[in-house]
Chains A and B, each alone.
Chain A
């Protein structure tokens, strides 16, 4: 039943602190979309299968991991830090390596799975910077795509992985 009972939620989303009173039943994805205007994160199903709503979430000072925000209550995000696809690009708008690779390797068509797919890929590459194709497929198996047949997504994630590894190596090379 609808309830006027609300709970204060304080969360960092894409680097900004938001404090809101939300109903305990409100799903995180709806909170992000409807309260915070973060409509880049979308809803594709009602059974936690499709992964379109994937965002990164962690405790304020801990590591973030991908979650399906349709299966998290907004109140559970109290004290958390959340990154959505809208918070991924750099301060000057420069694309994250995964975003750039998705564009260059045509890993998106309608674009609806893309935000969740990109967030899952970012999480995957943090855990495993040099995955095999099979590991990429396994790592993204919680994200459905209806347009691409996945192959260009796998290629994009591999390309992003290579770019990120090169980035990570840069400071070392610079000191040599």
Chain B
């Protein structure tokens, strides 16, 4: 009971095909909607003729931007206080942008009707290369914005630029490198979709949708559509993976709602993979110039980064309001530096919006990749072993809580222990010997290290809000008379096992079996308000809320037990599952007996209302800072560019582990992401803005064949400020692993004089790098 390996409660339905995902929802009279999308990346819309589509039998409505304009819905606010076209009115700004929406009896007819819509476009010059977005004369993408004459979105800085400058000026060694984190996509196996059901009689809108943040969605719908919030019910049923791609609101959700209002019937919208990859939130696309300053013997002194952030045509990036570059300024990583600073500039391009997604913890993927790549670049220049360089510079356990040069206060950590454990597990010294032997035989093997510090659990509401909604989360716990319990949460699992682990937290606190605790989530009519699941925030925020609400219930239970036993509450002692009289353990009442008594006619002290329940809102005092030491071993064939990941060692420390089995599964999944991003995944564009990663034929996701058997290790350094000492972990492996893989491949290519090459290190890119001709991977515009 309580913490530990427990098989998942949610499995029972999933292994039988009895999950309930959005596309499984069938309502009486339900219609189906589908989008007509732009073939151009940038073009003026001259005319749209929908008459033939409307005449097709089975078509119930064709909605264009002009129709939405009459409802004031043609544009919607984004999570970054920008606007995004719901349906294009004036012009299209990225390929596959939504242009019209057909509602029909079934999705086959809806697709047929799309073919009958005639749109006349006038192509415009395209900004496909972020590095050209601010060039003089660059076409202005957002001419819809009053007075906008360029593609600049924001400039944002952190750290002490002056001090950093000073340290750089006096440092013995300074190394700079251009590091691209290319555009990728979270690509959960289930795409985005919704079923909207507007009841004209009651005025109530019910929307089933693939959302990681149902309560935030409800508030946004209220603000956008002008519907009263109590008449909106958002239901996020089982979600087939989210990975950050299901945080924001997409035009499809809005059109399902509009379609339902227009037709008076429920309307389902379910996008296909091509639409998902090309039009929903991308991840990364950070063009970084890193500079690292050090002494000759490898003491790192300062880091400086300039970032050009490609945000696509609308700034829809999901992050706390005060952080336009997310938490990128955690880029000093796990090291003890004198100074650091960064400047981030966001630009519009003719691409889909997004940026923050794919287990990035608000841009920490980019930050961790940058610092871990720069450490290896420095090691390359100093001809030092990258493990030795890291050990020399890692923060020491006694430095925690540690305030970084850019202002983060890391809660706890024992970094050298974790790295040494990973090195022992992989037998690092032996591997280096093997590498040298192999090289003498003309075989290329690489060893890559990544040591990362995450920052998860957003966050303190004083500093962190999304669209003005503070990032605190509620929890409600009710113990029924027979001792069974219901926990209601504002977070929304997408496979991370909340129904099991949150029950385990209550079980640990109250001694009720996890099987007797139902975890309710994802239904805004049934659950307390909160910001949802992303940024690995569930355990840090709602996990804390759960422990606290359970402790409140326990406090009530103590009073009830004292009434039952006719002793003072102070004379009672808690042992998991029961209160007993101090010094007389036979005089005890179990939590189940207490629950029944709390609902009975038992007389309770003045002011105690009876029943056994509580609510809470948890406002975290700080983020949690899990960390990890990853080592990847690869074999590279420079003649073909083929990379084989032979071993991957991952030591994660997320403080107290609620369910080690689930933690390990989270890590496995994130490590596969690292293999995918480092070696395979890419959304490139040609100069016309054509999307070159628009299907699973081109956007390659790792299969069972590319993934090795992961080797996991753990250390436990609890978060001192968290009620159960637990830190988030879901995104750690995705954050930490790409650098380990890339560092390994480049370590193998060191004999070819390769210091850096950009992801993805596909066979052709590895081959080019070995030839001394690394390329920019984000564009199909080659030399």
**A-to-B contact residues, CB < 8 Å:** 1-2, 23, 25-26, 30, 33-34, 37-47, 49-50, 52, 84-86, 88-89, 95, 99-100, 102-104, 106, 108-115, 118, 133, 136-138, 140-154
Residues of B within 8 A of A26 (CB): 108
- Is B71 among interface residues, defined by CB-CB distance under 8 A? no
Residue among A2, A88, A102, A109 having the largest count of chain B Cβ atoms under 10 Å: A109
Residues of B within 8 A of A149 (CB): 665, 667-672, 707, 710
Knowing A86-B16, A103-B15 touch, does A140 contact B239 (C-beta < 8 A)?
A: no
| Contact call A104/B670, Cβ cutoff below 8 A | no
Interface segment among B384-392, B508-516, B696-704, B766-774: the answer is B696-704
Additional A-B contacts beyond A44-B273, A112-B495 (7; CB < 8 A):
A39-B17, A44-B189, A44-B240, A106-B664, A114-B14, A141-B704, A153-B704
| Contact call A136/B16, Cβ cutoff below 8 A | no
Chain A's closest residue to B191 (CB) is: A44
Knowing A2-B57, A45-B695 touch, does A146 contact B17 (C-beta < 8 A)?
A: no
A26 to B273, CA, bound (A): 18
| Contact call B112/A1, Cβ cutoff below 8 A | yes
- Is B23 among interface residues, defined by CB-CB distance under 8 A? yes
| Contact call A84/B112, Cβ cutoff below 8 A | no
Residues of B within 8 A of A89 (CB): 16
Chain B's closest residue to A25 (CB) is: B108
| Contact call B17/A43, Cβ cutoff below 8 A | no
Q: Of residues 672 to 688 in B, which have CB atoms within 8 Å of A's CB atoms? A: 672
A38 to B703, CA, bound (A): 26
Q: Which 8 A-B pairs have the closest CB atoms?
A: A40-B17, A110-B495, A111-B14, A112-B240, A149-B668, A109-B495, A85-B17, A49-B696
| Contact call A106/B697, Cβ cutoff below 8 A | no
B379 nearest CB across to chain A (Å): 28
| Contact call B704/A150, Cβ cutoff below 8 A | yes
A42 to B705, CA, bound (A): 23
Residues of B within 8 A of A86 (CB): 16-18
Report B643-665 CB contacts with A as 1/0, cut-off 8 Å.
00000000000000000011011
B635 nearest CB across to chain A (Å): 16
A148 to B672, CA, bound (A): 8
A63 to B242, CA, bound (A): 37
- Is B763 among interface residues, defined by CB-CB distance under 8 A? no
Chain A's closest residue to B109 (CB) is: A2
- Could you list 12 A-B pairs, sorted by A, with CB under 8 Å? A2-B56, A39-B24, A46-B272, A49-B697, A111-B240, A114-B14, A136-B704, A143-B704, A144-B189, A146-B672, A148-B669, A148-B672
| Contact call A106/B16, Cβ cutoff below 8 A | no
| Contact call B189/A145, Cβ cutoff below 8 A | yes
- Is B72 among interface residues, defined by CB-CB distance under 8 A? no
A36 to B49, CA, bound (A): 37
Residues of B within 8 A of A140 (CB): 703-704
For chain B, the bracket of interface size reads 35 or more
Chain A's closest residue to B243 (CB) is: A146
| Contact call A45/B273, Cβ cutoff below 8 A | yes
Chain B's closest residue to A87 (CB) is: B17
| Contact call B243/A152, Cβ cutoff below 8 A | no
A49 nearest CB across to chain B (Å): 4
A166 to B496, CA, bound (A): 33
Chain B's closest residue to A150 (CB) is: B704
| Contact call B11/A108, Cβ cutoff below 8 A | yes
A130 to B491, CA, bound (A): 42
A146 to B184, CA, bound (A): 14
A77 to B243, CA, bound (A): 36
Q: Of residues 1 to 31 in B, which have CB atoms within 8 Å of A's CB atoms? A: 7-8, 10-19, 21, 23-24, 26
| Contact call B707/A84, Cβ cutoff below 8 A | no
| Contact call A113/B189, Cβ cutoff below 8 A | yes
Candidates A52, A102, A133; contact of B11 at CB < 8 Å: A102
| Contact call B108/A46, Cβ cutoff below 8 A | no
| Contact call A106/B8, Cβ cutoff below 8 A | yes
Chain B's closest residue to A43 (CB) is: B23
Candidates A84, A106, A115, A133; contact of B7 at CB < 8 Å: A106
| Contact call B241/A112, Cβ cutoff below 8 A | yes
| Contact call B665/A106, Cβ cutoff below 8 A | yes
B286 nearest CB across to chain A (Å): 22
- Is B177 among interface residues, defined by CB-CB distance under 8 A? no
A74 to B304, CA, bound (A): 59
Knowing A47-B697, A110-B239, A111-B495 touch, does A150 contact B23 (C-beta < 8 A)?
A: no
B709 nearest CB across to chain A (Å): 6
- Is B199 among interface residues, defined by CB-CB distance under 8 A? no
| Contact call B672/A150, Cβ cutoff below 8 A | yes
A142 to B696, CA, bound (A): 12
| Contact call A2/B112, Cβ cutoff below 8 A | yes
- Is B58 among interface residues, defined by CB-CB distance under 8 A? yes
- Is B165 among interface residues, defined by CB-CB distance under 8 A? no
- Is B494 among interface residues, defined by CB-CB distance under 8 A? yes
- Is B497 among interface residues, defined by CB-CB distance under 8 A? yes
Candidates A2, A104, A118, A152; contact of B665 at CB < 8 Å: A152
A145 to B58, CA, bound (A): 36
Chain A's closest residue to B20 (CB) is: A39
| Contact call B497/A109, Cβ cutoff below 8 A | yes
Residues of B within 8 A of A118 (CB): 15
Residues of A within 8 A of B26 (CB): 37, 39
- Is B526 among interface residues, defined by CB-CB distance under 8 A? no
Candidates A2, A23, A41, A144; contact of B701 at CB < 8 Å: A144
Candidates A25, A46, A88; contact of B274 at CB < 8 Å: A46
Chain A's closest residue to B696 (CB) is: A49
- Is B473 among interface residues, defined by CB-CB distance under 8 A? no
Knowing A2-B57, A2-B58 touch, does A146 contact B187 (C-beta < 8 A)?
A: yes
